[in-house]
């Protein structure tokens, strides 16, 4: 029996806001019990600048989440603890691999409740981290949005988060739209399917235009050297000083080091839903679809270990389960294939794929400008002593509102800034990142019906994972212990991906 079409309300989603909360996130926890958290976050930028954030966190009382009265309050608390966690780890001269009980205890509790890992996820920095300037204004207008929390206090950082929020809001109506298309396909209503696909492709085009607005208020060098380092994860970060990850100290004998990926736009359930609905399949970088393996009745194939699949573990539990449900039902690609004689239907479906491919191409261009180019500039400055003297590096803990259009290049001591430069200098300066993004783009067009589009791309050769390139992670929520091979975007780049920040759709 084919599973039913998922109902949005069963997964905490809405037709108007999609994966965003039905109401804007809370700007403050009103219960005075949580005043110590609020006070620290109000001063976070200054505490990072003066390198006192750890001192303040160490002085915090251990607060229980039990006094949080609603899911909205739980989300606010989770977001606050995520920012405290990353500020504590990365906001000093040296990296810190130990997280004190004042953060670890409530953060792990909320992680279990919200079914999402205790780290600065996409939900923490984007979905649950915005307010409306005009309550009656549009949620999909980044000019009408403000970030509730940032590490740096810069408009660049806020804009980086808010573009994603606006994309989520503008893309939200496409989810019920395409569920209706899938429902119509079951009933053989080909006219409705065509109409839905036509609207869908236009909406994706809108999202691409919105994504390109990133350039307006987020400067590449500020992002790369000032923002991206704070979004770093703890997985495969030995060179940065986290050989085992981060120790979440709760005072229990069961405490252990934990390894998590950093915040990533690939944790957006919206874009993954687009892939599932259109039948787009992704594979570990350098691998292709096995033509001998077919999926059942047009449903998504059994998951393979790759970066995009792994990122689902970092979504809120209900969002993840929605995608899992979506994978169980026949997608639009299978229906279009079955009606391949209908030229209009196939053309409309292919137009959706083309729109999504253009979205990924726009994202790839942003990654090149915001990560690859600054990494190469930092490496070149390191190799050229004269260039290093010309543009002294700024300490991220003392000056986070970077004004110079030149990339930092010299000596400085802010850890997050130094790690960005050091990892940008490593190896080929990001050449493993671009093949991943290019493969994702090409895979988007691979299900084109009719004449196949060219799929030739730059080399996707990767370094094979080392024999000991496996890590053990602790059980968190319903996540089981698993062996995580060093493949995919979170794997063995030569330009270390886990420094954090702008990641892949």
The three-state secondary structure class of 242 is strand
Q: Which of 113-127, 253-267, 370-384 has the highest mean pLDDT?
A: 113-127
- Strand 246-248 to strand 257-258: parallel, antiparallel, or no bridges (unpaired)? antiparallel
Q: What would the DSSP string read from start to end of 321-363? A: HHHHHHHTS--HHHHHHHTTT-HHHHHHHHHHHHHHHHHHHHH
Over residues 136-146, the mean pLDDT reads 98
Predicted TM-score of the model (pTM): 0.82
pLDDT in tens, 391-415: 444 434 433 434 434 444 433 334 5
Q: Which residue has the tokens 């957006």?
A: 268
Reported as a pLDDT band with limits 50, 70 and 90, residue 383 is confident
Give residue limits of the domains in the chain. Answer: 10-163+234-258, 171-215+264-308+315-499
Reported as a pLDDT band with limits 50, 70 and 90, residue 387 is low
Q: Give the span between the Cα atoms of 338 and 330, in whole angstroms.
A: 11
Over residues 9-16, the mean pLDDT reads 96
The mean-pLDDT minimum among 3-7, 311-315, 379-383 falls in 379-383
Q: Taking all residues of the chain, what is their mean pLDDT, rounded to a whole number?
A: 82
Enumerate the β-bridge partners of residue 18.
14
Reported as a pLDDT band with limits 50, 70 and 90, residue 483 is very low
pLDDT in tens, 441-460: 778 788 888 864 444 433 33
Look at residue 108 in the predicted model and tell me its pLDDT.
Answer: 98
pLDDT at 125 over 60: yes
Answer yes or no: is 319 a known binding residue: no
List the alpha helices (DSSP H) in 228-291. 269-278
* Percentage above 90 pLDDT, the chain: 66
Angle subtended by helix axes 373-383 and 415-425, to nearest 10:
90
Output Rg (C-alpha) for the chain, integer angstroms: 22
Cβ atoms within 10 A of the Cβ of 470, count? Answer: 12
Reported as a pLDDT band with limits 50, 70 and 90, residue 480 is very low
Look at residue 444 in the predicted model and tell me its pLDDT.
Answer: 76
Q: Give the span between the Cα atoms of 438 and 444, in whole angstroms.
A: 10
Q: Give the span between the Cα atoms of 79 and 73, in whole angstroms.
A: 10
Look at residue 285 in the predicted model and tell me its pLDDT.
Answer: 59
Look at residue 464 in the predicted model and tell me its pLDDT.
Answer: 39
pLDDT in tens, 47-69: 999 999 999 999 999 999 999 99
Look at residue 411 in the predicted model and tell me its pLDDT.
Answer: 35
Q: Give the span between the Cα atoms of 349 and 78, in whole angstroms.
A: 39
Q: Give the span between the Cα atoms of 490 and 438, in whole angstroms.
A: 16
Look at residue 495 in the predicted model and tell me its pLDDT.
Answer: 41
Over residues 28-36, the mean pLDDT reads 98
pLDDT at 245 over 50: yes
Look at residue 378 in the predicted model and tell me its pLDDT.
Answer: 84
Enumerate the β-bridge partners of residue 145.
132
Reported as a pLDDT band with limits 50, 70 and 90, residue 299 is low
List the alpha helices (DSSP H) in 31-154. 35-42, 44-49, 53-58, 71-90, 101-114, 122
Reported as a pLDDT band with limits 50, 70 and 90, residue 229 is very high
Over residues 66-85, the mean pLDDT reads 99
Over residues 64-76, the mean pLDDT reads 98
End-to-end CA gap in the chain:
32
pLDDT in tens, 158-184: 999 999 999 999 999 999 999 999 999
Classify domain 171-215+264-308+315-499 by CATH number: 1.20.58.480
Look at residue 281 in the predicted model and tell me its pLDDT.
Answer: 87
Look at residue 502 in the predicted model and tell me its pLDDT.
Answer: 52
Q: For the chain, what's the residue count?
A: 505
Over residues 281-291, the mean pLDDT reads 62
pLDDT at 119 over 70: yes
Angle subtended by helix axes 101-114 and 71-90, to nearest 10:
140
164-187: b (≥16 Cβ within 10 Å) or e: bbbbbbbbbbbbbbbbbbbbbbee
The mean-pLDDT minimum among 122-136, 279-293, 324-338 falls in 279-293
Q: Which residue has the tokens 């994603």?
A: 164
């Amino acid at each position: 029996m084919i599973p039913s079409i998922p109902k949005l309300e069963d997964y905490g989603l809405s037709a108007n806001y999609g994966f965003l909360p039905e109401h804007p996130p809370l700007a403050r926890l009103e219960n005075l019990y949580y005043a110590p958290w609020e006070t620290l976050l109000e001063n976070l930028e200054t505490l990072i600048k003066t390198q006192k954030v750890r001192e303040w966190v160490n002085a915090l009382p251990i607060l229980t989440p039990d006094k949080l009265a609603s899911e909205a309050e739980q989300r606010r608390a989770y977001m606050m603890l995520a920012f405290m966690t990353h500020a504590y780890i990365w906001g000093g001269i040296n990296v810190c691999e130990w997280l004190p009980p004042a953060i670890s205890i409530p953060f792990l509790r909320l992680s279990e409740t919200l079914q999402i890992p205790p780290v600065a996820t996409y939900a923490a920095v984007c979905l649950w981290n915005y307010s409306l300037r005009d309550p009656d204004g549009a949620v999909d207008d980044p000019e009408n949005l403000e970030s509730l929390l940032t590490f740096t206090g810069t408009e660049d950082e806020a804009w980086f988060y808010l573009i994603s929020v606006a994309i989520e809001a503008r893309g939200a109506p496409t989810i019920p739209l395409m569920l209706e298309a899938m429902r119509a396909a079951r009933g053989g209503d080909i006219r409705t399917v065509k109409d839905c696909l036509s609207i869908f492709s236009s909406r994706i085009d809108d999202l691409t235009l919105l994504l390109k607005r990133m350039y307006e208020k987020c400067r590449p060098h500020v992002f790369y050297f000032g923002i991206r380092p704070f979004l770093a994860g703890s997985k495969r970060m030995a060179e940065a000083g986290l050989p085992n990850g981060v120790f979440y100290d709760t005072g229990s004998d069961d405490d252990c080091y934990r390894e998590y990926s950093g915040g990533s736009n690939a944790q957006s359930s919206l874009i993954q839903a687009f892939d599932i609905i259109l039948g787009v399949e992704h594979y570990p970088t350098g691998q292709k679809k096995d033509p001998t393996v077919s999926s059942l009745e047009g449903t998504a194939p059994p998951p393979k270990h790759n970066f995009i699949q792994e990122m689902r573990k970092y979504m809120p539990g209900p969002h993840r389960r929605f995608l899992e449900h979506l994978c169980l039902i026949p997608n639009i690609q299978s229906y279009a294939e079955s009606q391949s004689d209908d030229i209009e239907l196939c053309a409309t479906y292919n137009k959706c794929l083309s729109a999504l491919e253009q979205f990924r191409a726009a994202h790839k261009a942003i990654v090149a400008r915001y990560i690859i180019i600054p990494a190469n500039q930092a490496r070149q400055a390191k190799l050229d002593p004269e260039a290093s003297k010309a543009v002294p590096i700024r300490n991220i803990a003392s000056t986070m509102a970077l004004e110079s259009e030149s990339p930092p290049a010299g000596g400085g001591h802010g850890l997050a800034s130094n790690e960005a430069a050091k990892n940008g200098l490593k190896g080929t300066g990001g050449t493993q990142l671009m093949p991943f993004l290019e493969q994702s783009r090409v895979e988007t067009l691979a299900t084109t019906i009719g004449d196949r589009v060219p799929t030739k791309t730059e080399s996707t050769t990767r370094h094979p994972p080392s024999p000991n390139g496996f890590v053990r992670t602790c059980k968190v929520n319903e996540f089981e212990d698993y062996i995580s091979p060093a493949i995919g975007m979170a794997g063995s780049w030569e330009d270390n991906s886990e420094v954090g920040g702008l990641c892949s759709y």
